[in-house]
Amino acid sequence: MHKEKIAAVDFGSKKLSISLGVMCEEDIEIIGYLAEESKGIEKGLIKDEIKCTESFVKLVEKFEDKVDEPIQELYVGISSRYVRISEAKPDIFLEDGKVKAKHIKKAISRGCELIHLDEDEVIIDSVINFYTLDGRPSLKNVIGLVEQKLEVSVTYFIAKKEEIEKYQNVIGSAGCTIRGFLVNIYSGKQVFLNGEDADGVRVLVDSGAGTTDYAFFKDGIIEEIGSIPLGGNNVTNDLAICGEYSKSEAENIKLICSDNYVSLYENRDDKDIIEIGESSVSKTLFYEVTKARLEEMLKLLDGKLKNSSYYEDICSIILYGDGMTCYENIDEIVHNELTKKVRIVTKEYLGMKNSLNITSLAIVKEVSDRLILLKEEDTKNDKELEYLLNEKKETEQPKVKERKNNNNNSIVGKIKKILGDIF
């Protein structure tokens, strides 16, 4: 396989993140990543295309200078808000009795015809769950096997046309081309659901600035997807209203105080009013407003999760993203509001300054897995097939350049193994 560049951008309500990886044979190397302020996006949706384009162009220009590489084609990661999933099991007879990549492509295309779409909807992505050959299910890659009938279980991601067109307009205005769309919460599987961590029912929860997205996985297969329109910006807005601050003041106060706001509140030796830059802040107000909003977001999330038929079987919930995980004692609030076992992935746990680039990096890894399959069929020039085929071989994962790590059984170890030299 020739050296393939994979650029991915994550459109968030607060930050835009872009990452670039280069593949050579079965290796992937992360060249760089960058996050910049996002404009024109509210609660996971583009509200102002002009502002969004300006922030996207700024991001790309800075990133091109950083990595000394032109960015022309990108994979785009979006929120799961207004995105739904639907499963189909198309089957085809193998005319020559051997599974080829073209047969899988044909099955996926046929599956699209089985999915009911409203007039305002479009299929943006598809993932293969498993295969069935002559009545026998298989999770592994089946290309090259000799059989008569192939059935493919495929999950299709369906979004609103209007929202997708906005992304196309923004990226097209910047002179770039979209190679494919991926839903951010699904890409999180690359980081947090590996090996035994994928067994049973697991829930990923990505708490961002504008939304909190979640997805149910059963044995690594996505089953449900959803989003609540609340995130870190709601804490900022509450502080601005209750403390009579501008939003920029409130955001700055939140960033400075969030990791020790409980300790500040409980320290009765000091006065209640403290100075943060040029702003006077009540420790009590910050504590009560922040705690109340976090509790509300978690209560709403808990209600959404309980509505799922998979709720009782949940093995664990993995909560990540700076929308909620950056607060002191967040583990106590989470465990008070969510009745299931929760693993909280904080920036300290990751050993990073923040987790803003995790999703765009995960998308790069997701796409690289899709390209690995192409090498075996020598179809590297078939761009359409490249996007449709995303089945990951369980026995042959891409070799990621990595530093020595003695903790590869933990989430941190697995993230480092996946993302290699970026840590």
Q: Give me the CATH topology for the region 5-82+161-194+351-374.
A: Nucleotidyltransferase; domain 5 (3.30.420)
Written as six digits, the tokens of 418 are 């996946």
Task: Choose among 292, 413, 366: nearest CA to 21.
Answer: 366
pLDDT at residue 417, rounded to an integer: 53
Single-letter residue type at 268: R
Q: Is 98 helix (H, G, I), strand (E, B) or coil?
A: strand
Helix, strand, coil percent content, the chain, rounded in steps of 5: 40, 30, 30
Rg of the Cα trace of the chain?
A: 22
* pLDDT tens-digit map of 114-123: 999 999 999 9
pLDDT at residue 379, rounded to an integer: 42
| Average pLDDT of the residues in 45-68 | 97
pLDDT band at 408 (very low <50, low <70, confident <90, very high): very low
Written as six digits, the tokens of 420 are 């290699």
Task: Choose among 151, 153, 181: nearest CA to 165.
Answer: 181
Q: Look at residue 410 and tell me whether its pLDDT is greater than 50.
A: no
CB-CB neighbours of 25 under 10 Å: 12
Written as six digits, the tokens of 266 are 């409980």
Residues contacting 118, CB < 8 A, separation 6+: none
Domain 83-160, CATH among 3.40.50.620, 3.40.50.1980, 3.30.1490.110, 3.30.200.20: 3.30.1490.110
pLDDT at residue 422, rounded to an integer: 42
| Average pLDDT of the residues in 52-58 | 97
Question: Which of residues 130 and 134 earns the better pLDDT score?
Answer: 130
Question: Which of residues 102 and 419 earns the better pLDDT score?
Answer: 102
Distance CA 391, CA 389 (A): 6
Asked if 74 contacts 59 with a C-beta cutoff of 8 angstroms, the reply is no
Question: Which of residues 253 and 381 earns the better pLDDT score?
Answer: 253
Distance CA 170, CA 107 (A): 32
- Range scoring the smallest mean pLDDT among 258-267, 299-308, 311-320, 354-363: 354-363
pLDDT at residue 152, rounded to an integer: 94
Written as six digits, the tokens of 124 are 């943006």
* pLDDT tens-digit map of 198-252: 999 999 999 999 999 999 999 999 999 999 999 999 999 999 999 999 999 999 9
pLDDT at residue 399, rounded to an integer: 35
pLDDT at residue 378, rounded to an integer: 43
Q: What is the CATH number of domain 228-350?
A: 3.30.420.40
Residue with tokens 């020559």: 96
* pLDDT tens-digit map of 324-382: 999 999 999 999 999 999 999 987 777 777 678 889 999 999 998 877 764 554 443 44
Specify whether the backbone of 138 is left (phi greater than 0), alpha (psi in -120 to 50) or beta.
beta
Q: Where are the domains of the chain?
A: 5-82+161-194+351-374, 83-160, 228-350
Q: Strands, E, within 177-260: which ranges? A: 177-183, 201-207, 212-218, 221-228
Asked if 178 contacts 111 with a C-beta cutoff of 8 angstroms, the reply is no
Q: Look at residue 10 and tell me whether its pLDDT is greater than 70.
A: yes
DSSP state of 9: E
Mean residue pLDDT across the chain: 87
Written as six digits, the tokens of 3 are 């050296």
* pLDDT tens-digit map of 133-161: 888 888 777 888 888 899 999 999 999 99
pLDDT at residue 173, rounded to an integer: 93
Q: Look at residue 49 and tell me whether its pLDDT is greater than 90.
A: yes
Question: Which of residues 319 and 381 earns the better pLDDT score?
Answer: 319
Q: Strands, E, within 38-102: which ranges? A: 41-42, 45-46, 73-78, 84-88, 91-93
Task: Choose among 2, 34, 13, 113: nearest CA to 364.
Answer: 34
Task: Choose among 162, 58, 57: nearest CA to 120.
Answer: 162
pLDDT band at 86 (very low <50, low <70, confident <90, very high): very high
Burial of 51 per CB tally in 10 Å (0-12, 13-18, 19+): middle
Q: Look at residue 401 and tell me whether its pLDDT is greater than 70.
A: no
- Range scoring the smallest mean pLDDT among 8-12, 288-292, 401-405: 401-405
Which of 24-28, 97-101, 298-302, 398-402: highest mean pLDDT?
A: 298-302
5-82+161-194+351-374 matches 83-160 in fold:
no
| Average pLDDT of the residues in 278-285 | 95
CA distance readout (Å), 352 to 229, 349, 415, 419: 26, 8, 12, 13
- Distance in Å from the first CA to the final CA of the chain: 26
Written as six digits, the tokens of 411 are 């989430």
Written as six digits, the tokens of 399 are 């070799």
* pLDDT tens-digit map of 165-207: 999 999 999 999 999 999 999 999 988 998 888 999 999 999 9
